[in-house]
Amino acid sequence: SPSALADTGSPLTAAAVQTAAPPVIEVRELHKAYGPLEVLKGVTLTAPRGHVVSLIGSSGSGKSTLLRCLNLLEFSQQGEIMFEGEAVRWRGTGHARQPADRAQVTRFRTNLSMVFQQFNLWAHMTVLQNVMEAPLTVLRQPRAEVEPRARALLDKVGIGDKAEAWPAQLSGGQQQRAAIARALCMQPRALLFDEPTSALDPELQQEVVKVIKDLAGEHRTMVLVTHDMRLAADVSDHVVFLHKGRIEEEGPPAQLFGAPRTDRLRQFLSASM
Ligand code: ADP
Ligand code: MG
């Protein structure tokens, strides 16, 4: 039976992984508007298996919208989204475009787990119940399989002793770690993080940063939206700077943080660091 960490990346080199498998996530020329407001203006992004791609950019640049479009929580009007080489099938065009195949949407969504800025734990469930809920109800996995996995994940994020606690009894950093355990318990193919440390006091951010670094070290595939430039520099294979719905600059972290080429990125970094 699958262990708690069954989907942990294998110790292949990045190069071997890339030739062996299509990217976990691939987005080509994505466009998204809310009515007349164009938010994403042709965004192309690839997350190969085992890589961490970080998205940085000012508030309002479209980072959260991009994650929600990836996760099919929102529907883009143009462009392609692919998971492991399989393209989302659409019907309709423009603002009427929507996925054509509900079963595909469900499958893709359950393969991507999202962690939000606000941890969104269910207040009426214990921490353990929160972590087990989706595997039990969405994936219909047996409790005998889910519970040991959930407990192992709570141990992994350092709150194994809080399994029976209520969310309100936890600090913000502990709640966010519970939310990460909950996301992992779905055994997703990739994790999407939307500013996971932004709601936390600085001293609590570090315990969440440590968990994210551990996951990166295990070669989990992740798309990470963060305001924490040090975290992005430490964990990313690739950094994307979004400005007003367009990729203004992208590259390896050493290049983006060490030798930014555009004035816009230089300005953003000097305001963020
Ligand atoms: P970021 O996460 O980079 O701060 P967002 O993706 O949240 O940016 O927002 C990008 C732009 O889209 C902003 O101008 C925001 O006001 C707008 N926006 C986001 N969500 C909606 C929505 N549901 N309806 C209308 N406009 C939205
Ligand atoms: Mg946002």
Tens of pLDDT, residues 46-93: 999 999 999 999 999 999 999 999 999 999 999 999 999 999 999 999
User: Ligand 1 center to residue 33 CA distance, Å?
Assistant: 9
- Note the pLDDT of residue 18: 52
Atom of ligand 1 nearest to the CA of 67: 6
pLDDT given for residue 9 in this prediction = 47
Of the listed ligands, the closest to the CA of 68 is 1
pLDDT digits 0-9 by tens, 4-50: 444 444 555 555 555 578 999 999 999 999 999 999 999 999 999 99
Residues near ligand 1 with C-beta < 6 Å?
Answer: 34, 37, 39, 57, 59-65
Both tokens of 61, joined, read: 């640049």
Question: Atom of ligand 1 at shortest distance to CA of 195?
Answer: 2
Nearest ligand to the C-alpha of residue 34? 1
If you measure from the C-alpha of residue 1 to the centroid of ligand 1, how many angstroms do you get, rounded to a whole number?
42
pLDDT at res. 98: 96
Whole-model pTM: value is 0.91
| Mean pLDDT of the 245-256 span | 98
| Residue whose CB lies within 8 A of the most ligand 1 atoms, among 31, 34, 247, for a mutation test | 34
The per-residue pLDDT of the chain, averaged, comes to: 93
Q: For atom 14 of ligand 1, which residue has the closest CA?
A: 60
Ligand number with the minimum distance to the CA of 32: 1
Which residues is 82 bridged to in the sheet?
A: 26, 87
Q: Which long-range contacts (CB under 8 A, 24 or more apart) does 253-258 make?
A: 253/54, 257/229, 257/232, 257/233
pLDDT tens for 146-180 read: 999 999 999 999 999 999 999 999 999 999 999 99
Sequence-ordered list of residues with C-beta below 8 angstroms from that of 208, at least 6 positions apart, any chain: 173, 176, 177, 180, 196, 197, 200
Instruction: Give buried/exposed letters for 7-34 (b at 16+ CB in 10 A, else e).
Output: bebeeeeeeebbeeeebbbbbeebbbbe
Can you tell me the distance from the alpha carbon of 163 to that of 151, in angstroms, rounded to the nearest whole number? 7
User: What is the whole-number distance in angstroms between the Cα of residue 65 and the centre of ligand 1?
Assistant: 6
Residue 229: pLDDT band with limits 50, 70, 90:
very high
